[in-house]
């Protein structure tokens, strides 16, 4: 049996558990005496609670308590500005802290009852009187108040280079345009939920929906002043999160608060409408000024971004780093300003800043290419950059050209007729569009532990998460390959604060970060096995180094002499060891920092637009990805296809509609907040181009969580222009915009 596990299209190791219901999500941990908490949300966007009357709710039999800012216990720490691991600069929102209302649908009370039904009913009986103040939720109306934050929680916008204004003035061909996209909300299948289990000995077990248990631990211990040893956080399965679970949300706090006050286990699960009451992709308006010479050389680029944030935190994301990574140009300049509104702080959402920044950049570049009379793909090739101009660094690898070539061929780009409205299919206008994108291949510090027992079973653990991306599976593959074990002999454990530290699962860095630690810890076990084997008299491995040996099928042998293999079991029995154990941490190397490390993508899209009705069908997507080494082509393809589907949503459907009279997002359910359904999704073809990268990390893998989405929406926008001759600069492109 071959033990080459990396690169195999392996089925998910947790697949069976997931489809049989064996896999438990946060809200599914049933414990005896579980009480149910239901959140009451504010009806106004700004002001104060004058009076909160809980008597009617309390009169319902089976209601244990209605907790409000008036009757909650005091926790000294709560008065300080505690931070979670993902908090942007500012003062984090503290649920039930006082009577001030900072945003619409702010939690104002938690009703805890014997059953969910009772709690839900009693929650409708809580009466809140407000002293309302005028709120500001109108982004456009407040753009004049935009400011440069003291500190960006994302990359600080790159310093300008060259002389962009002068180069723009002199350019032969110019495009000066403004793009906008709306606020979007995360809609994972699993709603945010927490079960907090209080025990007599003062210990607290918390099952939370989170993209990294360490963050809930930090949030809970710092807000309630609890010692870390007393709190155990678990999150073995997450039903999608997309960034919504990077920060612990208010239901975590409220479940713990109620558990501590009532001294019993409490579950709080948010409803779908409540999923619209925290965190979202911030809307932005982006001004682009582009100048080129007649022959299509990009001479100047200026990008000015306005993005929303809350009044209490300065959230920002990487909207302005893309031009310097994707186009060679001697004159570039950027600004990124925030507009503070009476709403909850925005939150990372798949490819934060990339999805939006690349949408606007790639649309603007398409406009320029048309003005120049150039094929948009040829324009991109002509202005290709081999350097990250933001930081003046070479790329660790960049097979974007291969993406263009292989994608164009598969799509048939050559057959494209140049003029808009020149291709049709009966009553449908047909359009072809292209866009490219990038996403950073980060690595962070992480730890992993390995235990190998005499039965040849290996258990690896790290407190990372699997938000549906396939972490369980790829970590199992990496460990199995490193120690030459069959997959079924390897178990990977995650989502538990008793395991070695790992950072949040976000930013497409888990394979790189945790995978590197897993590989390293398995190599350590391999080394231990070798040393142990060498202690035996007449060992054929006597003078061997690690590089001289191979691990295959649970056995160790010299590379030069495969006949004399010795099994792990024998080695451990002869060495009188019950088990071998190692724990390591790994971190990015100094060498890596000398390079810009990014994954790249290209999307080719075909749309068919009904000429009379404006209905858009995304009939074909070919997307080519340069993501380094692909650990599992099957889960990788799923990632990219899911991202492409979301790209359709970004371009055509998703939009959180703020009613400025109420200061509330009004379409807070999946009936009115549209995401793509099967009928919206047609052919999606995913290509992974060959990309060798020995710098990015020990695995050569770049991470695929986010690269799949960034180029899809602009390719659709560009295809719609090619089909209709209409340039839509405000997303989403609903059909009324085409009529």
From the CB of 265, what's the least distance to ligand MOS, in Å?
29
| Angstrom distance (rounded) from CA 687 to CA 98 | 53
Which residues participate in catalysis according to the annotation? 706
| Binder of ligand MOS out of 149, 164, 265, 352 (CB under 6 A) | 352
From the CB of 705, what's the least distance to ligand MOS, in Å?
6
Nearer to ligand MOS, 349 or 518 (CB): 349
From the CB of 362, what's the least distance to ligand MOS, in Å?
20
Dig out the tokens for 589 from the structure: 């190397």
Between the alpha carbon of residue 368 and those of residues 299, 363, 462, 643, the distances in Å are: 12, 9, 48, 27
R_g of the chain, CA atoms, integer Å: 27
Q: Specify which residues 195 forms β-bridges with.
A: 207, 267
**For residues 490-529, which are near ligand MOS according to CB under 6 A?**
506-507
Scanning 348-356, 433-441, 517-525, 663-671 for contacts with ligand MOS by CB under 6 A, the matching segment is: 348-356
**For residues 237-256, which are near ligand MOS according to CB under 6 A?**
242-243, 246
From the CB of 440, what's the least distance to ligand MOS, in Å?
10
Nearer to ligand MOS, 301 or 504 (CB): 504
Scanning 22-30, 345-353, 372-380, 457-465 for contacts with ligand MOS by CB under 6 A, the matching segment is: 345-353
Backbone dihedral angles phi then psi of residue 375, each to the nearest 5 degrees: -60, 130
Between the alpha carbon of residue 573 and those of residues 483, 564, 570, the distances in Å are: 18, 18, 5
From the CB of 211, what's the least distance to ligand MOS, in Å?
6
Helix residue spans in 605-736 (DSSP H): 633-652, 707-710, 712-724
Sign of the torsion angle spanned by Cα atoms 530, 536, 537, 538: negative
Nearer to ligand MOS, 224 or 278 (CB): 278
Task: Find, among 691, 694, 692, 658, the residue nearest to 673 by Cα.
Answer: 658
Report helix, strand and coil shares of the chain as percent, to nearest 5: 30, 25, 45
DSSP annotation string for 324-384: HHH---S-EEEEEEEEEESSPPP---SSTTHHHHHHHHHHHHHHHHHHHT--HHHHHHHT-
Nearer to ligand MOS, 36 or 350 (CB): 350
For residues 291 and 326, the answer to whether their CB atoms sit within 8 Å is: no
Scanning 123-131, 150-158, 167-175, 347-355 for contacts with ligand MOS by CB under 6 A, the matching segment is: 347-355
| Binder of ligand MOS out of 136, 208, 313, 348 (CB under 6 A) | 348
From the CB of 333, what's the least distance to ligand MOS, in Å?
27
Nearer to ligand MOS, 303 or 508 (CB): 508
Cα 1 → chain centroid: 36
**For residues 194-213, which are near ligand MOS according to CB under 6 A?**
211
| Binder of ligand MOS out of 264, 350, 436, 629 (CB under 6 A) | 350
Nearer to ligand MOS, 155 or 454 (CB): 155
DSSP annotation string for 458-517: EEEE-S---SSS-HHHHHHHHHHHHHT--GGGEEEE-SBTTSPP---S-TT-HHHHHHHH
Q: Which residue is nearest to ligand MOS (CB)?
A: 243
**For residues 210-229, which are near ligand MOS according to CB under 6 A?**
211
Nearer to ligand MOS, 467 or 533 (CB): 467
Half-sphere exposure for 70 (CA within 13 Å, toward CB): 11
Nearer to ligand MOS, 599 or 687 (CB): 599
From the CB of 481, what's the least distance to ligand MOS, in Å?
26
Nearer to ligand MOS, 549 or 713 (CB): 713
| Binder of ligand MOS out of 349, 490, 609, 713 (CB under 6 A) | 349
Instruction: Write a three-state SS string for 239-273.
Output: CCCCCCCCCCCHHHHHHHHHHHHHCCCEEEECCCH
Dig out the tokens for 257 from the structure: 């608060």
By CB under 6 A, residue 282 contacts ligand MOS: no
| Angstrom distance (rounded) from CA 375 to CA 718 | 12
Q: Specify which residues 621 forms β-bridges with.
A: 605, 684
Scanning 31-39, 221-229, 342-350, 728-736 for contacts with ligand MOS by CB under 6 A, the matching segment is: 342-350
From the CB of 452, what's the least distance to ligand MOS, in Å?
32
From the CB of 378, what's the least distance to ligand MOS, in Å?
33
- Site size for ligand MOS (CB under 6 A): 10
Q: Which residues bind ligand MOS (CB under 6 A)?
A: 211, 242-243, 246, 348-350, 352, 506-507
């Amino acid at each position: 049996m071959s033990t080459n596990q990396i690169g195999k299209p392996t089925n998910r190791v947790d697949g069976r558990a997931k489809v049989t219901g064996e896999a438990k999500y946060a809200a599914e941990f049933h414990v005896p005496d579980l009480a149910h908490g239901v959140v009451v949300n504010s009806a106004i966007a700004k002001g104060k609670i004058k009076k909160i009357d809980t008597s009617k709710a309390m009169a319902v039999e089976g209601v244990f308590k209605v907790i409000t800012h008036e009757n909650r216990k005091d926790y000294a720490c709560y008065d300080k500005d505690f931070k979670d691991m993902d908090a942007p600069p500012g003062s984090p929102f503290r649920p039930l802290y006082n009577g001030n209302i900072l945003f619409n649908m702010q939690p104002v009370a938690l009703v805890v009852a014997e059953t969910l039904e009772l709690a839900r009913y009693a929650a409708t009986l809580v009466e809140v009187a407000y002293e309302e103040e005028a709120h500001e939720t109108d982004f456009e109306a407040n753009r004049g108040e935009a400011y440069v934050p003291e500190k960006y929680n994302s990359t600080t916008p790159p310093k300008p280079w060259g002389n962009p204004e002068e180069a723009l003035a002199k350019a032969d061909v110019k495009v000066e345009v403004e793009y906008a996209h709306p606020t979007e909300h995360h809609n994972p299948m699993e709603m945010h939920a927490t079960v907090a289990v209080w025990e007599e000995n003062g210990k607290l077990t918390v099952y939370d929906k989170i993209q990294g248990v360490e963050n809930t631990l930090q949030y809970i211990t710092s807000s309630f002043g609890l010692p870390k040893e007393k709190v155990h956080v678990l999150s073995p399965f997450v039903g999608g999160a997309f960034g919504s679970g990077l920060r612990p949300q208010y239901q975590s706090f409220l479940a713990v608060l109620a558990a501590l006050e009532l001294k019993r286990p409490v579950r709080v699960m948010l409803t779908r409408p409540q999923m619209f009451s925290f965190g979202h992709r911030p809307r932005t308006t982006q001004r682009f000024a582009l100048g080129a010479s007649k022959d299509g050389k990009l001479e100047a680029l200026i990008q000015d971004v306005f993005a929303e944030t809350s009044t209490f935190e300065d959230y920002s994301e990487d909207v302005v780093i893309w031009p310097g990574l994707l186009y060679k140009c001697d004159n570039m300049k950027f600004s990124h300003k925030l507009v503070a509104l009476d709403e909850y702080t925005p939150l990372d959402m798949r490819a934060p800043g990339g999805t939006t920044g690349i949408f606007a950049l790639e649309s603007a570049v398409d406009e320029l290419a048309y003005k120049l009379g150039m094929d948009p793909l040829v324009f991109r090739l002509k202005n290709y950059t081999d350097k990250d101009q933001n930081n003046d660094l070479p790329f660790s690898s960049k097979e974007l050209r291969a993406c263009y070539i292989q994608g164009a061929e598969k799509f048939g780009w050559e057959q494209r007729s140049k003029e808009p409205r020149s291709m049709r299919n009966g009553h449908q206008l047909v359009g072809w569009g292209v866009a490219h994108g990038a996403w950073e291949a980060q690595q962070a510090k992480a730890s992993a532990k390995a235990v190998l027992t005499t039965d040849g079973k290996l258990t690896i653990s790290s407190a990372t998460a699997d938000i549906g991306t396939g972490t369980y599976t790829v970590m199992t593959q990496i460990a199995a390959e490193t120690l030459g074990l069959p997959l079924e002999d390897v178990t990977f454990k995650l989502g538990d604060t008793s395991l070695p530290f790992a950072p949040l699962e976000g930013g497409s860095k888990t394979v790189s970060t945790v995978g590197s630690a897993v590989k390293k810890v398995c190599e350590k076990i391999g080394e231990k096995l070798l040393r142990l084997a060498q202690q035996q008299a007449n060992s054929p491995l006597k003078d061997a180094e690690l590089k001289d040996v191979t691990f295959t099928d649970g056995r160790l042998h010299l590379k030069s002499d495969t006949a004399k293999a010795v099994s792990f079991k024998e080695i451990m029995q002869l060495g009188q060891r019950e088990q071998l154990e190692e724990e390591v941490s790994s971190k990015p190397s100094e060498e890596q920092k000398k390079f810009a490390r990014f994954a790249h993508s290209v999307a080719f899209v075909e749309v068919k637009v009904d000429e009379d009705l404006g209905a858009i069908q995304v009939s074909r997507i070919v997307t080519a990805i340069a993501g380094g080494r692909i650990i599992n082509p099957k889960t990788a393809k799923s990632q990219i296809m899911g991202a492409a589907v979301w790209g359709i949503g970004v371009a055509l459907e998703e939009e959180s509609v703020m009613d400025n009279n109420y200061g509330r997002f009004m379409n807070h359910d999946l009936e009115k907040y549209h995401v793509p359904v099967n009928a919206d999704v047609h052919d999606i073809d995913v290509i992974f181009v060959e990309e060798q990268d020995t710098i990015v990390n020990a695995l050569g893998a770049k991470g695929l969580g986010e690269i799949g989405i960034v180029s899809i929406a602009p390719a659709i926008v560009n295809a719609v222009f090619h089909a209709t001759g209409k340039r839509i600069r405000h997303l989403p492109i609903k059909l009324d915009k085409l009529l």
